[in-house]
Amino acid sequence: MSPYIGRFAPSPSGSLHFGSLVAALGSYLRARSLKGQWLLRMEDIDPPREVKGAADDILRTLEAFGLHWDGSVLYQSQRVDAYQQALNELLQHQQAYYCQCTRKMVREMGGIYNGRCRQHMISHGAIRLHNTQGVALFSDELKGEVKVDADFAEEDFIIKRSDGLYAYQLAVVLDDAHQGITEVVRGSDLLEATCRQLSLYQTLDLTAPKWLHLPLACTQPNFKLSKQNAATAVDVNPPQKSLSQALAFLGQPKVDLSGDIEIMLAQAVEQFRLDAITKENEILIG
């Protein structure tokens, strides 16, 4: 078996909140319990959503919790040449095409894009993948078999936005492949996105990783903690309390709170149990 390589990939759109800490901790525990690497990638390719200083703040917060990554941080903003090269190749092989349809037009199509621009000779606009794979089913290491709506799975989705920014789906696939990620551990809000990413992996003839989706921390049903929802920054004073709460959220055994954060984390790694994590997509918190 190849060595385990996991990762945590936050976007610098605000400080690390409790939901992000859960995702970071879950991916860290999984990687370290399997004697693997844990990499860090900063998904900084959406400047309109980014907050100045947030990237450095996230790094300091992870370090305060003892969540030390392997190697150097990969910044997506330094990878745009690779994204464009992949796009050029997809366009050249008629595996992608330009589209000028607006969100309103897609809503009028019933919410799923119908391939309207696929046969048109358009040279500008957003770029969509000609999705010939249509992956609708995958296996999750925690949840088991996951299936999404076939219409969604088969949709020609956007891989470069009309404003010139590279879409998440393209960047995350290319970066996970570039870093040799063997398993992606992240929140359950990205379950559907996994099928789109698998379609892109197959189109690009890349080896896909395994998947493990953790429950989301929600303040009410279908309302996850997020930077967009103005979630407050996780408390690092002291870090033991928030780390203990995140461990409990993941169903993990209690650890000794009186010790150093590094000792506490090492204990959590040693007694990590994947089967203790709920298979539910979300957990309501107070």
Residue 246 assigned to a binding site: no
CB-based contact 45:76 (threshold 8 Å)? yes
126: helix, strand or coil: strand
Residue 7 assigned to a binding site: yes
Residue 195 assigned to a binding site: no
C-alpha 42/C-alpha 106 separation (Å) is 31
CB-based contact 242:235 (threshold 8 Å)? yes
Residue 33 assigned to a binding site: no
Going from the C-alpha of 139 to that of each of 71, 168, 234, 251, 280, the distances in angstroms are 29, 21, 32, 22, 15
> Which residue, among 139, 124, 245, 136, has the nearest Cα to 184 in the 3D structure?
139
Residue 168 assigned to a binding site: yes
Q: What is the dihedral of CA 19, 22, 28, 31, to 10 degrees?
A: -110
Residue 28 assigned to a binding site: no
Residue 186 assigned to a binding site: yes
Residue 221 assigned to a binding site: no
Q: Measure the N-to-C terminal CA separation of the chain; round to a whole number of Å.
A: 42
Going from the C-alpha of 111 to that of each of 37, 102, 103, 194, the distances in angstroms are 40, 11, 9, 19
DSSP 8-state code for residue 277? S
8: helix, strand or coil: strand
Residue 218 assigned to a binding site: no
CB-based contact 261:243 (threshold 8 Å)? yes
C-alpha 174/C-alpha 200 separation (Å) is 9
Annotated binding site for ATP: 227
Annotated binding site: 7-11, 43, 99, 101, 113, 117, 168, 186, 227
Annotated binding site for Zn(2+): 99, 101, 113, 117
Annotated binding site for L-glutamate: 7-11, 43, 168, 186
